[in-house]
Amino acid sequence: MNDELFPILRNSTFLVRLPIAIGTLFIFFFSSCNYFKKNTEEKPLARVYDQYLYSTDLKEILPGNVSKEDSARIANNYINNWVKQHLLLKKAELNLPEEKRDVQKQLDDYRNSLILFLYEEELIKQRLDTLVRPDEITKYYEENKQNFALKENIIRASYVKIDKQNKTVNKLRKWLNDEDADSKNKLNEYCSTQALKFSLDEHKWFTPEELAAETGIEQNKIEQMGRYPNTFEIYENDGYYIFKTIEYQLKDDISPLEFEEKNIRNILLNKRKLKLIEQMEKDIYNEGIVKSNFEIYTEKKK
C-alpha cells in the first residue's frame, strides 16, 4: 500500500448501510452492461430475453472438490435462480417509470463508497495504534461517569458446579468463601480436577441474562442472588451450584469500571480512528493544493 495515498471519507456512518441491497445492485449492474450478452463462440446454457448464461459464467461458483452429481445439482440450482432473477428484473424494467430504472448513480455511489471503505480500512489497519493503556481507560471513566448509568441490574460473583453425588460440598463452600491464599489454591486445584463448570474471577461482572446463559439456571433465580450475602446454592437437574455473591448493583446506579472496560476501550479506539481519518483528509487536501491536483471554478461576476 502506497503511504502517500489517503482516504477522503468524512465519516463512517455508511458502514452500517453498506451491505444493504448489494445483491440487487449487482443484478442491475451486470444487466446494464454486456456481461450476459450473447457470445456467438459458445453455446449458451440459458436465455432470458436478450441475456445469455454460459458455462464459463458458472466456473467460479462450482467448487472443484465435489462429485459430478453435486456439481450438476449446484449448476442446475444456479441456472434456475439466474432465470428467475432475470425474468423478475425484466418485468421490473418494463413496469417501472424511466426515472426509477436509471440506477447508474446509485451504482456509482455504491462503488465509490466501497472503494473508499476498503482503502480506509487498509490504512487504519496499518496506522491505528490499538494499544489502550489502563490509565487511559480509568481517566475516561472518571471524566464521564455520568454516562455510565446501568441499564439493568448486574452481579459480581464466582461459582462452582459439581456433581450432585459429590461429598465435598462443605470443603468447597469453605474454600469459596475464605480469602486466604491456601484456600484459594485448594479451590483452584479442586475446580481444575473435579468441578463440572466454574468461574473464579471475582472481578468479573455479569448481567443476570449473561449468568443465566452461562450456567443454564433460570434468570429469575439468578435475580434472587442479590438478596443473599456471600453464598447462594441451588440444585439443577444435572448438578449442584454454589455461588459466592460479591457485589450487586441496581439499574440506574453508576456502572463499575470493570464492567465498562471493554466498552470504553472501543470508544477510545473509535475516537482515534475518527481523528486519524480527519487528519488523512486534511493531508490529502493539502497535497492536492501543493500538487495542483484540483481546481474549483467560480463563475465570474458580471
Q: Output the pLDDT for position 48.
A: 93
Residue 135: which H helix or E strand, with range? helix 134-143
Structure confidence at residue 231 as a pLDDT band (50, 70, 90): confident
pLDDT of residue 5: 38
Residue 25 CA to its chain's centroid (Å): 23
For position 6, what pLDDT does the model report?
38
Note the pLDDT of residue 65: 81
* Alpha-carbon gap, residue 250 to 145, rounded angstroms: 16
The Cα–Cα gap between 58 and 74 comes to: 10
pLDDT digits (tens, 9 = 90+) for 48-92: 998 999 988 888 788 778 888 888 899 999 999 999 999 998 998
The pLDDT of residue 58 is 86
Q: Which residue, chain included where needed, has cell 468461574?
A: 199
**How does the average pLDDT of the chain come out, rounded?**
84
Cβ neighbourhood burial of 14 (10 Å; 0-12, 13-18, 19+) = middle
Structural domain boundaries of the chain?
Answer: 14-127, 134-141+256-290, 150-249
pTM recorded for the entire structure: 0.64
CB 151 within 8 A of CB 251: yes
Distance CA 132, CA 153 (A): 28
Query: What confidence score (pLDDT) does residue 23 get?
Result: 47
- Give yes or no for residue 1 having a pLDDT over 50: no
The topology (CATH level 3) of 150-249 is Chitinase A; domain 3 (3.10.50)
Q: Are 71 and 62 in contact (CB under 8 A)?
A: yes
User: What pLDDT, in 10s, does the model give residues 174-196?
Assistant: 999 898 999 999 999 999 999 99
